[in-house]
């Protein structure tokens, strides 16, 4: 069964948006169908004409946009005498935001350094706020662990022996 190709299919082919198998089928159809070939050529010509079009604005358009921007900027800069400046209309610029971030970073760095250097070490005669207590379970002593393993093994042997009876 032959596939009927639409104008959208031809456009997809021209913009290389078809998968390889579809492209192959369309190329075969272009060789066989003269009407399809004419439609393909017309779309190809349109695409070539579009590439020739300049998308740069005219000098007059650029001047009108610049004039509009200048007028708009002047309106925003001029304070209205009837209204006082309120905090909700105040907006931070990028420089103010950067200064704020750098200042906060400096404050955090200074405070961290201060606290790190003022907390006494464990060798210090000044007592710490929280006293460190060692947990004997966390302390690793190979001899005691080996001894505990042997005790557990002997208990397991006793359990096996008693359950076998």
Q: How far, in Å, CA of 138 to CA of 125, rounded?
A: 26
Could you tell me if 10 and 43 are in contact, meaning their C-beta atoms sit under 8 angstroms apart? yes
Model confidence pLDDT, tens digit, residues 3-31: 888 999 999 999 899 999 999 999 999 99
Higher-confidence residue: 120 or 105?
105
* d(C-alpha 63, C-alpha 60), whole Å: 5
Q: Tokens representing 101?
A: 């971030």
pLDDT of 89: 45
- pTM of full prediction above 0.85: no
Tens-place pLDDT, residues 59-84: 888 888 888 888 877 666 555 544 44
């Amino acid at each position: 069964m032959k596939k009927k190709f639409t104008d959208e299919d031809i456009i997809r082919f021209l913009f290389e948006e078809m998968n390889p198998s579809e492209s192959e089928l369309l190329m075969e159809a272009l060789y066989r169908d003269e009407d399809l070939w004419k439609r393909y050529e017309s779309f190809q010509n349109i695409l070539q004409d579009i590439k020739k079009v300049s998308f740069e604005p005219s000098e007059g358009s650029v001047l009108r946009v610049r004039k509009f921007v200048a007028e708009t900027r002047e309106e925003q800069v001029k304070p209205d005498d009837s209204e006082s400046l309120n905090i909700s209309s105040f907006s931070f610029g990028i420089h103010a935001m950067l200064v704020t971030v750098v200042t906060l970073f400096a404050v955090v760095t200074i405070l961290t350094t201060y606290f790190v250097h003022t907390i006494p070490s464990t060798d210090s005669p000044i007592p710490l706020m929280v006293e460190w207590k060692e947990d004997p379970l966390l302390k690793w002593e190979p001899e005691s662990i080996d001894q505990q393993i042997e005790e557990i093994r002997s208990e397991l042997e006793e359990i096996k022996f008693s359950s076998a009876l």
